[in-house]
Amino acid sequence: MRRTPNPKQHRRSSPTSTSPPSRYRLFGRIILGLVILVVAVVGIGYWQIHQLARQIVVADPRGSAAASPLLGANILVVGVDIRRDRPEEGVRSDTLMVVRLDGMGGWFNLLSIPRDTQIDLPERGPSKINAAYAYGYLNAATLYGADTTPEQGGMALAAETVSSFLNLDQRGMRVDYIVQIDFDGFAALIDALGGITIDVPRRIVDDAYPTPDYGTMRVEFEPGPQRMDGARALMYARTRHADSDFGRTERQQQVVQAIMQEIRQRNWVERVLLLPRVLQAVTGNGTTPAIITTLPLSNVDTLLALGHIAMTLDPALIGRYRIEPSKVGVTTNGTNLIWDPNDIATLVDRWLTPPGEASEQARVQVFNGVGVTGLARWTSDELQAHGFTVLTPADAPPGDYPRTIVYQVGDAPFTARRLARVLNADLVNDAPPGIVSEAEIVVIVGKDRAP
In a domain, 217, yes or no: yes
In a domain, 31, yes or no: no
Same domain, 236 and 309: yes
Same domain, 244 and 387: no
Evaluate if residue 2 carries a pLDDT over 50: no
Picking from 355, 376, 409, the residue at the C-terminal end of a domain is: 355
Mean pLDDT across the stretch 411-436?
92
Evaluate if residue 10 carries a pLDDT over 60: no
Picking from 333, 355, 377, the residue at the C-terminal end of a domain is: 355
pLDDT band for 44, please (50, 70, 90 cuts): low
- Which range marks the domain in which residue 65 is found? 55-355
Same domain, 347 and 362: no
CATH code, domain carrying 435: 3.30.70.2390
CATH code, domain carrying 283: 3.40.630.190
Q: At what angle do helices 150-165 and 131-138 cross, to 10 degrees?
A: 140
Q: By mean pLDDT, which of 92-96, 403-407, 408-412 is the weakest?
A: 92-96
Mean pLDDT across the stretch 89-93?
68
Same domain, 127 and 177: yes
Picking from 322, 355, 388, the residue at the C-terminal end of a domain is: 355
Mean pLDDT of the chain: 85
Same domain, 288 and 330: yes
Q: What percent of the chain has pLDDT over 90?
A: 54
Question: pLDDT, tens digit, for every residue of 100-115?
Answer: 999 999 999 999 999 9
Evaluate if residue 288 carries a pLDDT over 80: no
Same domain, 300 and 443: no
Same domain, 397 and 336: no
Query: How many whole angstroms separate alpha carbon 124 and alpha carbon 396?
Result: 53
In a domain, 48, yes or no: no
pLDDT band for 116, please (50, 70, 90 cuts): very high
Question: pLDDT, tens digit, for every residue of 313-361?
Answer: 888 889 999 999 988 999 999 999 999 999 999 999 999 999 888 888 8
In a domain, 14, yes or no: no
Greater confidence (112 vs 288) lies with 112
What pLDDT does 45 receive?
55
Mean pLDDT across the stretch 397-407?
94
Name the domain count of the chain.
2
pLDDT band for 1, please (50, 70, 90 cuts): very low
Contact, 156 vs 60, CB < 8 A?
A: yes
What pLDDT does 91 receive?
74
In a domain, 445, yes or no: yes
Same domain, 108 and 235: yes
Chain center to CA of 27: 42
pTM (two decimals): 0.82
Contact, 376 vs 383, CB < 8 A?
A: no
Same domain, 297 and 402: no
Greater confidence (1 vs 269) lies with 269
Evaluate if residue 304 carries a pLDDT over 80: yes
In a domain, 195, yes or no: yes
In a domain, 434, yes or no: yes
Same domain, 222 and 330: yes
Contact, 116 vs 245, CB < 8 A?
A: yes
Evaluate if residue 267 carries a pLDDT over 60: yes
Same domain, 282 and 409: no
In a domain, 24, yes or no: no
Q: What percent of the chain has pLDDT over 70?
A: 85
Question: pLDDT, tens digit, for every residue of 12-22?
Answer: 444 545 556 67
Same domain, 368 and 339: no
